[in-house]
Amino acid sequence: MKLFLVIPCYNEEEVLPETARRLKEKFASLMADGHIAEDSRIVFVDDGSRDRTWELIEELHRSDPLYRGIRLSRNRGHQNALLAGLMTVREECDAAISMDADLQDDINAIDAMLEKYAQGYDVVYGVRSSRKKDSFFKRTTAQGFYRVMKAMGVETVYNHADYRLMSRRALAGLAEFREVNLFLRGIVPLVGFRSTTVAYERGERFAGTSKYPLKKMLSFAFEGITSLSVKPIRLIASLGVLIFAVSVGMLIYSLIRHLLGHTVSGWTSLAVSIWALGGIQLLAIGTIGEYIGKIYLETKHRPVYLVSDYLTDGDRPTK
């Protein structure tokens, strides 16, 4: 089984040598036990780093063919770097595992992932068993993130970052998704195939600083929602319906007030039209939005289906 490890790196000079060393050890033991083939590789994707990351990758590659490097023309962000790596290697490997350069993802979970792969799973999600080692801030923002995503109708795997194994055919399926607003964590579940999870303990970054400040996290969450869900548009339409219902109530209320003579002249028509028009406008925007949502989904050119198995004549046992 030929395994490729894909690791996006952005300004990771502080962690790269240690990461490379530990992964090499891990690979050596996996090879010795016959779990992975000798020509398995560790692929670093340099996401337009401004420090010595690429020089280090070059050095590693010279020192041992185990290491490979891919360099992006400029910084494109974690998700794009990851995709670049996976798509570059997908036809060479039986399965690829993506993980972070800072070893926060426990590399010993690889064994369990390989085991699941051997059992026939195409996608194995690494899921954090606890967030004890994350800062309070990171933990609460991350949990809020999963909640909002869920409320917005985006299917994600709870507590799963981008540490996952994907088989060759799952990667081929992923390649069919040609959208440019890419949110991998939401798309991989859409790819389908048999999937399962493996729990691991999330460690601390052993050196360097997080490349995901709050600003990037917020835009990441926003990207996730707007690239996978048209629910916000629907919310506007629902609000329109609600306000319109209020306007009917207002109509009845104002008419009663009018008939009882408790109103100044002109108030009834004004009050009713404000509510009715507001409701109608929101409904109209929501309706237009619904069509824009359709256009939006069309422009993504997502695959309508992916075939998992096809039993043909040749597969039948011959007597």
Which residues contact ligand UDP (rule: CB under 6 A)?
A: 8-10, 12, 47, 75, 77-78, 81, 100-102, 104, 205, 210-212
212 binds, among Mg ion, ligand UDP, none (CB under 5 to 8 A by kind): ligand UDP
101 binds, among ligand UDP, Mg ion, none (CB under 5 to 8 A by kind): ligand UDP
Quick one: 100 or 122, whose CB is closer to ligand UDP? 100
Contact 129, 201 (CB under 8 A): yes
Quick one: 210 or 308, whose CB is closer to ligand UDP? 210
Quick one: 49 or 104, whose CB is closer to Mg ion? 104
10 binds, among Mg ion, ligand UDP, none (CB under 5 to 8 A by kind): ligand UDP
Report in angstroms how near the CB of residue 129 gets to ligand UDP at its nearest: 16
Quick one: 12 or 122, whose CB is closer to ligand UDP? 12
Candidate list 19, 49, 104, 247; residue touching Mg ion; CB under 5 A: 104
Q: Which parts of 173-232 interact with Mg ion (CB under 5 A)?
A: 205
Quick one: 56 or 233, whose CB is closer to Mg ion? 56
Whose CA is closest to 117, among 28, 35, 34?
35
160 binds, among ligand UDP, Mg ion, none (CB under 5 to 8 A by kind): none
Q: Which parts of 13-72 interact with Mg ion (CB under 5 A)?
A: none
Q: Contact between 106 and Mg ion (CB under 5 A)?
A: no
81 binds, among Mg ion, ligand UDP, none (CB under 5 to 8 A by kind): ligand UDP
With contacts defined by CB under 5 A, how many residues of the chain interact with Mg ion? 4
Q: Contact between 167 and Mg ion (CB under 5 A)?
A: no
Q: DSSP letter string over 10-51? A: SS-TTTHHHHHHHHHHHHHHHHHTTSS-TT-EEEEEE-S-SS
Contact 41, 76 (CB under 8 A): no
Report in angstroms how near the CB of residue 102 gets to Mg ion at its nearest: 4
8 binds, among ligand UDP, Mg ion, none (CB under 5 to 8 A by kind): ligand UDP
Q: Contact between 102 and Mg ion (CB under 5 A)?
A: yes
Quick one: 42 or 243, whose CB is closer to Mg ion? 42
Interface residues with Mg ion (CB under 5 A) are: 100, 102, 104, 205
